[in-house]
Amino acid sequence: MNKRYILYDANCAFCLRCQQWLTEQSAYLELCFIPAESAEAAGRFPGLEQFGATGELTVIGDDGPVYQGPDAFIMCLYALTDFRAWSLRLAQPALRPFAWTAFDFITHQRAAFSKWMRWRRRKIWRRR
């Protein structure tokens, strides 16, 4: 496996910021970002709708496996040079509930995070 396709919500400011952060990191694997509701995603991954990928972080390996939710988050970390060790820790049975809880919280609050990020960006923009 050399590449990870990361499907994200292109209308979510929080998701866009996460995509930017991931892009800035050193990675062992190539990360390809595709908006989940795009024609590219539908064309590249026929049958994707069965996974409900438009509402949840989805990572697809170039060799076929599909990861969603906390597993997708862990796979994103696994691809990164500085965070692979963390991904291996979070994948352990003792920490998986923590990863699930944290990811679930973030997922359910991403609209609020996005709203806050847009507000903060406007506030910073006005100062310039």
The two tokens of residue 73 are 């988050």
In Å, how far are 46, 100, 119, 120 from 70, measured between CA atoms? 23, 5, 27, 27
Q: What is the pLDDT of residue 85?
A: 95
Taking a C-beta distance cutoff of 8 angstroms, is the pair 101, 73 a contact? no
**Residue 35: per-residue pLDDT:** 92
Distance CA 91, CA 89 (A): 5
Paired tokens of 100? 């699930």
Across the range 92-112, mean pLDDT stands at 81
Predicted structure pTM score: 0.78
Indicate the pLDDT class of residue 50, thresholds 50, 70 and 90. low
